[in-house]
Chain A
Amino acid sequence: MNDLLPAYERPVLVRHARGAMNKFSRAASMQPATELDGVPYDRLLEAYGSPLFAFSERTLVQTYRQLEDAFATRWPRVRIAWSYKTNYLDGICRLLHQQGAWAEVVSGFEYDKAVRNGVPESRIHFNGPAKSEADLDKAFRGDAIVHLDHFDELALAERVARRLGVRPGVALRLNLATDGVPAWTRFGFNLESGEALSAVRRLIAGDVLQLVGLHCHIGTFIPEVGPYQQAARKLALFANLLRADHGITVDFLDLGGGFASHNTLKAQYLPGTEASPTFARYAEAIVDGLEALDVDPLERPTLVLETGRALVDDAGHLVTTVVANKRLPDGRRALVLDAGVNSLFTAFWYKHDVVPTAPVHGIPEPTILYGPLCMNIDCMRDTLQFPPMSPGEHLVFHHVGAYNVTQWMQFITYRPAVCLVGQDGQHALLRRRETLDDVAGCEELPAWIG
């Protein structure tokens, strides 16, 4: 060692190619991310190991307030129902419930998790195409709001309600056409074909369920506001028709989720930080559509939102460690990381924003980021211009708070720990790293194997 000499760096030579900047995006300007809300990533790694999901309480709470403000300043009654499947870690859910969020669940498991988190059952919206009789039984006893998805469920719900001797309030999930977004016709009753109206008639004839809400969820990561304006208008017109023809006034109109977070889809050219509409723009579009309601402004139904990814994505980060450098035959550099697509499921959809956790030196070159799995699909990030990194150094993937800590799988490696950085610099685990006992604990050995 000789501190008087310049530090040795692995030699690199990068050809200047026209268009390379555009092709691999974000060349020269890469800024490291050294800390999360004042806590160095290195300290979090020391405390909880690598790889590590780290959530920012500050970002989560701020994002919630921005969403709520955007809508509550434009509509008299607004309810945010937290979409559990997006991230059902108890700590995250409770932070959102503390802000006032209700729960939106799509299975008996998620329902139980919401109850465990202290959500009164009457504040649970219960969606999903496959609720069991036991699920409906539980929901009706608890006075939760069941969103009916299809005729078989409607019939089952009536049987359960009759058996219990209750007249529960339910909502209908509708699917409808909007310009530019392929309709998710597999969920709910179709509006344009008249199926939704048949469901209403059927419900009235059954005389046991009460229609209290209309719901649609037109898709996910919709980076345009026009489809929301159209969906809101269609729900409003349908609500008008229910009032005029059937004397039914619904309590709420639920526009579902689907707002884009600040991620960038693989096919997207502009980065999501620039392309995704603000909450205010979504709110303007929805409220504009709801103006079609012909009710007294004071009697307007509650506007329900089931925003998932746009609420939590930006609060989550994945910190990972470089295991190795490789040079591929085509000249590209490859990094092998200690976190793979088994942890970062969203790597299949997004060009994740990823940067080193320490100041960068050296010449960026086209680099592909691979995970640790012995599987060809394990690519964490398609080629981007990236500075030289050595084994043991760290990278952080941003905007990973939605769907990863629920859709991750235990495959080949353990699922990593998840921590939370609090608003005043304290930090703690939300979920510890898995152990062999966690994984193998559910296994049984047939007696004859022994």
Chain B
Amino acid sequence: MDDRQQLRDLALNDKGFVFDPLTGATFSTNPTGLQILRFLQEGADRSAILAGLQARFDVRGDDLTRDLDEFVSTLRRQGLVGQDFGL
């Protein structure tokens, strides 16, 4: 299945509860992770996500690029996107 479609199908609530209807698996994510999932559902690309995080959170000395890459690899590992998915 198309990665973006699988992402769009994820059910999210405002508290960070995530449900993957494809597998029935449920997850918890934090506000930053939730925002990234929402950006991905909207089809945002890497630079749009990074800019969006900067705009929405009080970022101090954090390494957003590394965090985003790590988050995407978590999505791959958890089967929320395919193994080839990258940003």
Q: Which residues of A contact B (CB under 8 A)?
A: 1-16, 327, 331, 362-363, 388
Contact = CB atoms under 8 A, between A and B. Distances in A.
Given A2-B58, A362-B30, A8 B78 contact: no
Nearest to B20: A15
Contact of B58 (A8, A10, A15): A8
Contact of B30 (A3, A9, A327, A331): A9
Given A11-B68, A11-B71, 10 more contacts: A6-B56, A7-B57, A8-B32, A9-B32, A12-B74, A13-B18, A15-B25, A15-B27, A331-B74, A362-B30
B58 A12 contact: no
A131 B40 CA distance: 72
B30 A16 contact: no
Interface of B: 16, 18, 25-33, 35-36, 53, 56-60, 62, 64, 67-68, 70-71, 73-75, 77-78, 80
Given A5-B58, A15-B27, A10 B32 contact: yes
Given A15-B27, A16-B26, A8 B71 contact: no
Nearest to B64: A8
A362 B28 CA distance: 10
Given A11-B36, A331-B77, A1 B60 contact: yes
Contacts of A1: 58, 60
A162 to B, nearest CB: 75
Contacts of B71: 11-13
Nearest to A15: B27
Given A3-B58, A363-B16, A9 B75 contact: no
Nearest to A5: B58
Contact of A12 (B33, B62, B73): B33
A231 B85 CA distance: 66
A7 B57 CA distance: 6
B59 A8 contact: yes
A349 B71 CA distance: 34
A12 B57 contact: no
Contacts of A8: 32, 53, 57-60, 62, 64
Q: Which 9 A-B pairs have the closest CB atoms?
A: A11-B33, A8-B57, A11-B32, A5-B58, A11-B71, A8-B59, A13-B29, A16-B26, A10-B67
B58 A11 contact: no
A2 B73 CA distance: 29
A12 B56 contact: no
A327 B73 contact: yes
Nearest to B71: A11
Contact of B27 (A10, A16, A362): A16
